[in-house]
C-alpha cells in the first residue's frame, strides 16, 4: 500500500522534479509573449469601435456593442495579467478584494459537473437521433398542412372573381408554396441524415465492447488501482493493529478497553480505505470517479442521521455492555445458546446439539437478552440415543438433534421429526437418566382384614423377585408397594418401581410385567380382583 501511494505521489510530482529557471528570466520571457497579445487586443478594440460608429441599423449596432464590450474585457484581463506578472503582486490582493464566496449550491454543481458531462457524452448519439426524428415528424406535419392549405387556396382561386381577392390569394398561395418546398427539403435532408446514422449505427455488442474498452482506457485502471489501494489500506491498518497486540505483553483480553480499541480500529480501517480511494482518484486526475465517490460519501453521511441511533446500540452490544453478553445463556428460536463471541458477526454454540454452532449478524441479536448460566444447568434436555416421552405421548429414542430439528425413532421403526423449538415446548421426559413406573392395582373388599398388614408385603416381595430376574440388580433401583386408597369397589395399592436409564427402551414392557405379577399374586393367594360396578338409582315416583 505504501509503495503504491508513493508511486502515485511521485507521478503527480514529476513536473516539479526539474529545477526551475531563474524567476526574472521566466517573467521576462512571459512578458515578451504577453505584450503582442495585448497590442493586438487593443487594435481589435479600436477596430470594433470604428465599426460601431458606422453601424447602419439598430440590430447591427447592438451586436457591435456586445463585441466592443467583449474586447474591452479582454484588454482589461490582458493588462491585469501583464501588470501582475511584471510587479509580482496581484491587484486584488493589493486592493484587499476578497474572492467571491462559493455557495453550497455552487459547490454541489461543481462536484456534479463531471457526472453530468459524462452522462451527456454517453447519451449524445441517441439524443441526436431522437432530435432528428422529432424534427422529421414536425416537417411531415408541416408538409401535410401545406398541402391542405394549397388545395384549399386552389379551389378558392377557381371561384374568385375580383382582382383584389385574387391578388391576396396568390400572395397567400406563394407563401404556402414556399412552406411546402421548405418542408419537403427538410424531410429529404432529415431522412438522409437518419439513414446515414442508421447505416453507421453499431450493434449493441459493439457498443458495449467499445464502452468497456473506453472505460478501461480512461477510468478502469484508475478504479482498479483505487480498489487495491483501499483494500491495502484497510488490511494494513488491521494487520498493524494485530502486530501491536502481539507485541503487547498484557494478557488481559476481552475487556471494555480492548473491545473499544477493536471497534476504533475497524472504523480507522474504513476511514483509511475511503481516504486511499479519494487520494488515488485525486492524484490520477479522474474527476468523474472522484465526484461519484464524494457524492456517495455525502449520501452516506446524510442517511446516517437516521441510521446512526441503531448503530450506537449495536456498538454497546459489541462492547459487551448490552443486554446480551459473552459467556451467558441466551434463548433464540426457543433453543438455549451460549454466547461465544459478540462482533459484527456474532457466534453462539450449544454443546449438546450436532452442529451446534450459530452465526448471526449483530442486527438480529438486537432485542434479545441473556443471563448468567449455572454450572450444572443443562444446555439441552436430551442427548443422542436417549429415550424420551413427550407431552404428545410420543415414546421413542432420539436419533438426531440439531439446531433445526430433533428426530425420534418410535417403537416399530417409524420416525417422528420435530423442529427443535417445538420439541422443547413438549417438555420431553428423559428416561435415559432413570425413570419411575407407577401402577395402581386394586383387590376386593373381601380381603379387608389383611389389606394393610399382609398384602403390601406380599406384592413387594413378589415384584422384587420377578423384576430382579428380568432386569438384574443394576437395572432395578427400588420397588415400593403402599396402600393408597379405599376406592368405590376396591382397595387400591400404589406400586412404585424405579429403574436405571439403560432400560428406557423397556418401559412399556416393564409396566405390563408389573401388572401381570400382581395378577399372579392374586391368583396364588385367592384374592379377588374387583371390576368397576355401575349402580343404577331409580327416581322416586311422583305423588
pLDDT values of the chain reduced to their tens digit, one per residue, 543 residues: 443 444 343 344 344 433 444 445 566 777 777 778 878 888 888 888 888 777 777 777 788 888 888 888 888 888 777 777 777 666 666 665 655 555 556 656 665 665 566 666 666 777 788 888 899 999 999 999 989 988 888 888 888 778 878 888 888 888 998 888 998 988 888 888 888 877 766 555 566 666 666 666 667 788 888 899 999 999 998 888 888 878 876 545 556 677 778 778 888 998 999 999 889 988 888 777 888 888 888 888 887 777 677 778 888 888 888 899 999 999 999 999 999 999 889 999 999 999 999 999 998 998 899 999 998 999 999 999 999 999 999 999 999 999 999 999 999 999 999 999 999 999 999 999 999 999 999 999 999 999 999 999 999 999 999 999 999 999 999 999 999 999 888 999 999 999 999 999 999 999 999 999 999 999 999 999 987 654 444 544 343
**Strands laid side by side in the 405-410 sheet:** 415-419, 405-410, 395-401, 387-389, 429-430
Can you give the pTM of this predicted structure?
Answer: 0.52
Cβ proximity of 290 and 278 under 8 Å: yes
Q: Which residues contact 433 (CB under 8 A, 6 or more apart)?
A: 501
What is the maximal distance between C-alpha atoms in the chain? 152
User: How many angstroms separate the CA atoms of 118 and 124, rounded?
Assistant: 10
Of the candidates 439, 487, 437, the residue with the CA atom closest to the CA atom of residue 459: 439
- Alpha-carbon Rg for the chain in angstroms: 50
The 3-state DSSP class for residue 391 equals coil
Please tell me the distance from the alpha carbon of residue 90 to that of residue 86, in angstroms, as a whole number.
Answer: 10
CA–CA separation, 148 vs 139, rounded Å?
Answer: 14
Amino acid at each position: 500500500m505504501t509503495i503504491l501511494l508513493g508511486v502515485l505521489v511521485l507521478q503527480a510530482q514529476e513536473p516539479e522534479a526539474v529545477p526551475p529557471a531563474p524567476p526574472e528570466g521566466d517573467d521576462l520571457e512571459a512578458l515578451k509573449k504577453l505584450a503582442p497579445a495585448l497590442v493586438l487586443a487593443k487594435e481589435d478594440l479600436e477596430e470594433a469601435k470604428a465599426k460601431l460608429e458606422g453601424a447602419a441599423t439598430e440590430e447591427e449596432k447592438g451586436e457591435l456593442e456586445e463585441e466592443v464590450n467583449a474586447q474591452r474585457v479582454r484588454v482589461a484581463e490582458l493588462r491585469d495579467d501583464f501588470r501582475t506578472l511584471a510587479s509580482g503582486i496581484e491587484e486584488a490582493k493589493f486592493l484587499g478584494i476578497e474572492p467571491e464566496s462559493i455557495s453550497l449550491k455552487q459547490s454541489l454543481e461543481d462536484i456534479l459537473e463531471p457526472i453530468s458531462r459524462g452522462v451527456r457524452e454517453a447519451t449524445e448519439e441517441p439524443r441526436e437521433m431522437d432530435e432528428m426524428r422529432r424534427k422529421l415528424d414536425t416537417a411531415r406535419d408541416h408538409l401535410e398542412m401545406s398541402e391542405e392549405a394549397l388545395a384549399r387556396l386552389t379551389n378558392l382561386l377557381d371561384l374568385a372573381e375580383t382582382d383584389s381577392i385574387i391578388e391576396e390569394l396568390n400572395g397567400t398561395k406563394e407563401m404556402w408554396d414556399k412552406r411546402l418546398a421548405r418542408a419537403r427539403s427538410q424531410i429529404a435532408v432529415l431522412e438522409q441524415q437518419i439513414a446515414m446514422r442508421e447505416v453507421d449505427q453499431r450493434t449493441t455488442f459493439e457498443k458495449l465492447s467499445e464502452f468497456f474498452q473506453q472505460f478501461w482506457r480512461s477510468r478502469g485502471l484508475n478504479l482498479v488501482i483505487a480498489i487495491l489501494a483501499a483494500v491495502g489500506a484497510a488490511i494494513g491498518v488491521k494487520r498493524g493493529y494485530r502486530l501491536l497486540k502481539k507485541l503487547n505483553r498484557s494478557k488481559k483480553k476481552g475487556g471494555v478497553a480492548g473491545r473499544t480499541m477493536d471497534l476504533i480500529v475497524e472504523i480507522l480501517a474504513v476511514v483509511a480505505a475511503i481516504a486511499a480511494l479519494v487520494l488515488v482518484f485525486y492524484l490520477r486526475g479522474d474527476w468523474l470517479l472522484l465526484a461519484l465517490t464524494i457524492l456517495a460519501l455525502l449520501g452516506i453521511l446524510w442517511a446516517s442521521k437516521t441510521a446512526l441511533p441503531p448503530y450506537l446500540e449495536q456498538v454497546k452490544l459489541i462492547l459487551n455492555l448490552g443486554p446480551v453478553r459473552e459467556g451467558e445463556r441466551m434463548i433464540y428460536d426457543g433453543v438455549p445458546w451460549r454466547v461465544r463471541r459478540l462482533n459484527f458477526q456474532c457466534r453462539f454454540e450449544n454443546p449438546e446439539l450436532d452442529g451446534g454452532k450459530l452465526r448471526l449478524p449483530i442486527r438480529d441479536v438486537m432485542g434479545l437478552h441473556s443471563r448468567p448460566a449455572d454450572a450444572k444447568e443443562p444446555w439441552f434436555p436430551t442427548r443422542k440415543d436417549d429415550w424420551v416421552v413427550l407431552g404428545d405421548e410420543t415414546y421413542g429414542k432420539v436419533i438426531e438433534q440439531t439446531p433445526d430439528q430433533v428426530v425420534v425413532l418410535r417403537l416399530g421403526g417409524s420416525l417422528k421429526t420435530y423442529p427443535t423449538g417445538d420439541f422443547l415446548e413438549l417438555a420431553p421426559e428423559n428416561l435415559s437418566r432413570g425413570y419411575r413406573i407407577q401402577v395402581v392395582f386394586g383387590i376386593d373388599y373381601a380381603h379387608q382384614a389383611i389389606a394393610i398388614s399382609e398384602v403390601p408385603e406380599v406384592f413387594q416381595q413378589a415384584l422384587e423377585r420377578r423384576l430382579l430376574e428380568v432386569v438384574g440388580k443394576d437395572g432395578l433401583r427400588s420397588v415400593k408397594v403402599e396402600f393408597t386408597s379405599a376406592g368405590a369397589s376396591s382397595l387400591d395399592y400404589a406400586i412404585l418401581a424405579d429403574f436405571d436409564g439403560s432400560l428406557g427402551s423397556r418401559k412399556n414392557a416393564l409396566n405390563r410385567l408389573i401388572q401381570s405379577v400382581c395378577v399372579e399374586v392374586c391368583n396364588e393367594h385367592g384374592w379377588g380382583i374387583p371390576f368397576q360396578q355401575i349402580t343404577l338409582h331409580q327416581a322416586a315416583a311422583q305423588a
